[in-house]
Amino acid sequence: MSSLVTLFRPQVLACSLLLLTAAASTARAADAVVWKFTPGLTNRFQMSQDTKVTKTGAGGDMSVDSVLTIDMSWTVKEVKPDGSAILEQRVDRMRMTISTADGMKSEIDTDAKEDPQGQAAMAAPLLKAITGHAFIVTMTPRGEVTDVVVPEAVAEALKNQPGAAQMGELASAAGFKKMVGQASFVLPETLEVGKEWTSTAEAKLPVVGTQTAVTTYKYEGPLETDGTKLEKFSAKVEVSFAGGEVTVEVPSQESNGEVLFNGVEGRLEQSKISQVTNLKIAAAGQVVEQKIEQTIGVKWVPNVD
């Protein structure tokens, strides 16, 4: 059951590596908004993830809070004739704090000079591999990912990290590549106020089976913030589980979020999604209930000369 505590972290990490859109107020089609690529262009982003997991039932009660901050960048290495780009994705820095209700606290910062202690030390090899090696990603102007090259050092670190067996395919280069590819924000072909579409990501995990996350996007229309014209999308996520050795039910879940895209610059401006998921896990006649409260935000960071 312990693997459920960190159920969403691998997906969030994948998203962070990639990154993880005026029209009139009436519902009409508008010109396409796309990601814009220029050789040598570097965009920087910061992702924050706040998570609280509360468990009750068999084995006693438990509460874990974690705060993850990731500084990342991508640089356009090449623009192909079809308009797609080869991007060098880098995670420049990762900071994580994990605390429990009984007073235990663990911290890790990949920029720290001292080696992490305690439980944080187990994650150090993977985090160092991720921050020390670039991913090569091929992306279309709409944001579709057509290829991902996972560094060998990262693949090895994933395979050898503690708890790799509980991560299933996410602990392999192929599984991690799949998750990165599923994480991209793909723009619609045209903007039409009120239009909805979905994006699905799946991960096969031991014990709990296949976790499916379906994100529903909706184009809300243009807005202007501090003189900057942006395109606003709302986002809602629903998760489900099937085919596991244990039964995982989702009695209730709710989420809300928004994505702001800068159509002029052709890049993500910021996004934020908050989600509360209640799980009921039944195995061997025992039932465990978990409540996962999570907020994930990404914002563009101006380059500093």
> 257 near 15, Cβ under 8 Å?
no
**How do residues 207-234 score in pLDDT, each as one tens digit?**
888 989 999 999 999 999 888 999 999 9
Q: Give the 3-state secondary structure of residue 81.
A: coil
- Residue 1: pLDDT over 50: no
Considering the chain, what percentage of its residues have pLDDT values greater than 70? 85
Backbone angles phi, psi at 113, to 5 degrees: -75, -30
Averaged confidence pLDDT in the chain:
84
Average pLDDT over residues 62-78: 94
Q: How far is CA 150 from CA 74, 177, 209, 231, in A?
A: 15, 7, 24, 32
Q: What is the CATH number of domain 2-21+26-301?
A: 2.30.230
Q: How many residues does the chain have?
A: 305
Q: How far is CA 98 from CA 28, 107, 155, 161, in A?
A: 47, 6, 24, 18
Consecutive H or E run containing 267: strand 267-283
Smallest CA-to-CA distance from 8 within 203, 214, 258 is with 203
Q: Which of 17-26, 139-148, 185-194, 198-207 has the lowest mean pLDDT?
A: 17-26
Average pLDDT over residues 278-305: 90
Q: What is the pTM of this model?
A: 0.84
> 184 near 261, Cβ under 8 Å?
no
**How do residues 108-125 score in pLDDT, each as one tens digit?**
899 988 887 776 777 788
More confident residue, 147 or 1: 147
> Vertex 286, ends 285 and 288: CA angle to 5°?
150
Residues sharing a CB contact under 8 Å with residue 132, sequence separation 6 or more, in sequence order: 153
Other Cβ atoms closer than 10 A to 190: 14
Q: What local confidence, expressed as pLDDT, does residue 263 receive?
A: 95
For the chain, the structural domain boundaries read 2-21+26-301
**How do residues 32-42 score in pLDDT, each as one tens digit?**
799 999 999 99
Q: What local confidence, expressed as pLDDT, does residue 129 receive?
A: 87
Q: What local confidence, expressed as pLDDT, does residue 206 receive?
A: 82
